[in-house]
Each structure stands twice: as C-alpha cells, then as structure tokens.
Amino acid sequence: MSEYKLLINGALVEGDATLDVINPATEETVATCARASKAQLDQAVAAAKAAFPAWSATSMDERRKVLVAIADAIQANLGELARLLTQEQGKPLQDATGEIFGASAFFRYFASLDLPAKVVTDDATSRIEIRRKPLGVVGCIVPWNFPMILMAFKVPAALLAGNTVIVKPAPTTPLTALKLGQIIKDIVPPGVVNIIADANDLGGELTKHPDVRKISFTGSTETGKKVMASAADALKRISLELGGNDALIVLDDVDVAATAPKVFGAAMQNAGQVCIAAKRIYVHESIYDAMCDEFATLAKNMVVGDGLEQGTQMGPLQNKAQFDKVMGFIDSAKKDGKVIAGGERKGDKGYFIQPTVVRDIAEGSQLVDEEQFGPVMPVIKYSDPKDAVARANASIYGLGGSIWAKDSDKAWALAESMESGSVWVNKHADLQPHLPFGGSKFSGIGSELGEEGLKEFTQVQVLNMAR
Ligand code: NAD
C-alpha cells in the first residue's frame, strides 16, 4: 500500500500499477506511488464530467471559498510539501518552500478575480450581455521543473471559471501533486479535482479523450505539437506553454560587477531548468571579457549539492534523461566554444552538473540554437545592439527576453522590438499572478495568469433578448 494515492471522485485510491520516484540527488527511491491505468483515467474523466453540472452551477463566491480553503491547506502543510518537493525534484529546500508558498498564493490570487457579465445593450428594444461560461472537464498537464507552481497556474483558474479538472503531473515528480490530493480531498466536492499519476503513457489518452473539453499543457514544444494534433479530433480548446530559448542582452553601459550576479542568477536558477531562464547571454564587446570573468567566478563559487543540505545553492538535474541531454550539450560546447567554468559532472552519485560558462560561442552551435534546460550558459559577443536583438529574434522560440542597461530609454526601445511573450528590462523571469504569461512562435499558444489566463478556461456566450 502506497502512501501516495490517486484522487478520483473524491476518494484516494491505489493505482492499478505503481511507480518508483527517484531522488535525483541520491538516485535512491523517495517513494513508490500509485500509477493510474487507462481505465482509472477514464474513471477520473467520468467523475469530472459527472461533477461538472453541480460545480458549474455554484456561485463564484462558493468557488472562491474552495480556492481559499485549498490555499490555506497548502500553507498549513508548507514544510512537508517543500521537503517532498526537494526530494523528488532536487531544488534547494528554500526554493521548494518558495514554490509551495507561491502555489498557495496563486490559489488566493485567482480567488480574488471575477468573471462578470458585460452588459452591451440595455434599452427599450433589447438586452444583450456577453457572458463567460465554463468549458467542462479540463486536463491540466504539468512538467517536472516546477510541479506545484505550474499546477497552480492552471487549477485555480479552471475551477474559478466553473470547470472540473484532471491533474496529471510528470512521471518523475508526481509525489507533491498526489500529496496535494490527500490534503484537499475533503475540501473540494467529489470529482471536481482528480489527480492521477502515469509513467508518461496517459498524457496522450487525456488529450484525445472525447469527454475532455480543454487541455492546459505545460511542457516541451515537441510534446505540445502532439497535444495539438490529438486535441483536434474532438475540437478541444488548448493552451500550450512550451519551451523557450530566452535571449538576455547586456548593453555596454552597465555596471559589470553589479549586473553579472543578476544575469548569472537568471541563467542558473533551478539548475537552469526554467522555461524562462536566460539561455543565450549576449554581451557587448567592450565589456565581454570582464563579464565572462565575473560569470566564471560566480560559477566556481556556487554551492552545488543535495537540496536538503543547508547552504546548497543549486541542486541536481531533475532526471537522468535531462542530465544526459545537458552533458551532451556540454560536449558539443567544448568543440564550439571555450569552457571557462565547470564543464563536468559533479561527483559520481546524483545528477549533479557543475555550473558551466561557455565563451567565444555563437549561433550555429547546439548550445546557442537549442534549449539546454540546464546549468550551462553560452556568452555571446556582439557589437551593435540592434544586431543583437535581430540575432535574439532569429529563433523558433519566443517565450521571454530581456535588455540590461543603465540608459533605460534605450533599453525600453530595444525591448519593444523583441519577439517574445514577455520582455523585461534590467530583470529577467519576473512572473506575477496578475500579468498574463505566454509564448510566441514555438513557445506556445494562449496565456496563463491574469484575467487573460482566467478567460482561457471559458467560452463566450452572447445572451440577446428582444423587448
Ligand atoms: P514534456 O513535454 O516531456 O512533458 C510535460 C508533460 O507532458 C509531462 O506531464 C508528460 O508526462 C506529459 N506528456 C508526455 N507525452 C505526452 C503526450 N503525448 N500528450 C500529452 N502529454 C504528454 O516536458 P518536460 O521535459 O517535462 O518539461 C520541460 C519542458 O517544458 C522544457 O522545454 C521547458 O521549457 C518547458 N516548460 C515550459 C513552460 C512554460 O510556461 N512555457 C514552463 C515550464 C517548462
């Protein structure tokens, strides 16, 4: 009997199979959890479908109360959830604590929103309103880099709008999601939230299921394309939050010593496993050498280790496949550029990689052109800022980007021409609950968060009456 069960129709149930979850810092099993079969996925969808009429008929106030109760429950279990998140995901405990707290904050944020009917006409001849109706059963598919916060981009918005949900975490990080199921079991009515775990075999089943009306997906661009294709048959709504290759452009007037740690942090947070990590660092030629030296020093001083150990600044890569992929990027970067810090695995147990800085590298190399999703930063030299923006834009991706400069007018003007869903000036990866977040080009379709994100879980209805 596993401690970590599926939540289906308000009950915690064993899976038809089990799944071993590995701690990436030790390569040992953290826990064996329930793994759903296709039949159990069908049960979860049937439960969500059955729960939809009653849930969508509740008032916004009733749904808000449930969201706040979930937020309170997450906060009440903050310590336990954070430890579990570190054990399955690898990130330092302090970051895991921030993520769990953030998840509760996102539930609270959505509880503060409304979806009021807009009265377009109200006169002697007619009354016309534009309304926002829920869609039905929503599938929420989540990756392994931020299992809890990315779930909290989706679930509270879907619920507030009146939908019922199936949550499917990534197979390497299902434990916090299943734990959440235990915590909220008695808070949400049966069937309104269902949580299943799989071994990478049920995502496709969920996206093609005829009774699911929308898929809210966060993950890689390659899987996003599959989601889009399989959602077509039942004309499902989709929102896709996909991969990125964010460019960060440093102009020549910055204070090098003050800027370098911030840029470095934007690249290395969560061991670089952030969709909006800075993944291509463009630095003006006049400060290039000085910046590279600062980055190398920061990389050499970074404390890499088990996220449960005090003082750890960077944990391991989350899983073996990602570790192997990033080591492959490093191998090719050794040929395409000059490694000035890191460049090797750290230790021989756990999926640790030394923070790695690569200079004298340019477009045409794997590390610059593809998404590394790991602690390896390419530093690219440029001479003309407009050319740097053009090079930044010459990517299939368009998730985030940033410009760093003392002259903020100049930075703002350059930022306007970046082709990405979010552009920051003198900061990077600043996500806030009220700001819509989404990608352009191959980085996604639609947005999450903010009122725009909430509306993506609705469909428009025009109610039009003659008088
Ligand atoms: P992934 O695409 O491999 O997996 C994501 C989720 O999709 C997992 O839950 C997985 O089980 C599921 N899945 C697998 N096959 C599926 C299928 N055929 N149909 C439906 N679902 C399926 O991604 P990953 O490796 O877990 O995550 C890393 C990627 O996610 C990176 O590219 C990163 O940039 C991206 N990401 C994007 C955002 C964003 O908001 N844009 C945020 C975080 C991560």
Q: Is 94 inside a domain boundary?
A: yes
Same domain, yes or no, for 251 and 236? no
Confirm if 92 and 86 have CB atoms less than 8 A apart: yes
Same domain, yes or no, for 355 and 215? no
Same domain, yes or no, for 424 and 292? yes
Ligand 1 centroid–CA 370 distance in Å is 16
CATH number, domain at 373? 3.40.309.10
Name the residue range of residue 106's domain.
Answer: 6-242+443-466
Please state the rounded mean pLDDT for residues 150-166. 98
Same domain, yes or no, for 193 and 261? no
Q: Which ranges in 201-280 belong to alpha helices (H)?
A: 203-208, 221-232, 256-268
Q: Is 438 inside a domain boundary?
A: no
- Residue closest via CA to ligand 1's atom 42 equals 275
Q: Is 108 inside a domain boundary?
A: yes
Give the per-residue pLDDT at 98: 98
Same domain, yes or no, for 307 and 214? no
Same domain, yes or no, for 142 and 235? yes
pTM: 0.97
Ligand 1 centroid–CA 32 distance in Å is 22
Known active-site residue 419: no
pLDDT higher than threshold 90 for residue 116: yes
Q: If you search the block for the tokens 């996102």, which residue do you land on?
A: 106
Cα torsion 13, 151, 95, 200: sign:
positive
Same domain, yes or no, for 207 and 321? no
First to last CA, the chain: 63
Q: Is 437 inside a domain boundary?
A: no
Same domain, yes or no, for 153 and 292? no
CATH number, domain at 111? 3.40.605.10
Confirm if 248 and 372 have CB atoms less than 8 A apart: no
CB atoms within 10 A of CB 232: 12
DSSP assignments along 87-127, one per residue: HHH---HHHHHHHHHHHHHHHHHHHT---PPEEEEESSSEE
Ligand 1 centroid–CA 154 distance in Å is 14
Condensed to tens digits (0 to 9), the pLDDT of residues 380-395 reads 999 999 999 999 999 9
Same domain, yes or no, for 113 and 185? yes
Q: Is 14 inside a domain boundary?
A: yes
Please state the rounded mean pLDDT for residues 99-115. 98
Known active-site residue 275: yes
Q: Given the DSSP bridges, would you call strands 214-218 and 237-241 parallel, antiparallel or unpaired?
A: parallel
Average pLDDT of the chain to the nearest whole number: 98
CB atoms within 10 A of CB 10: 16
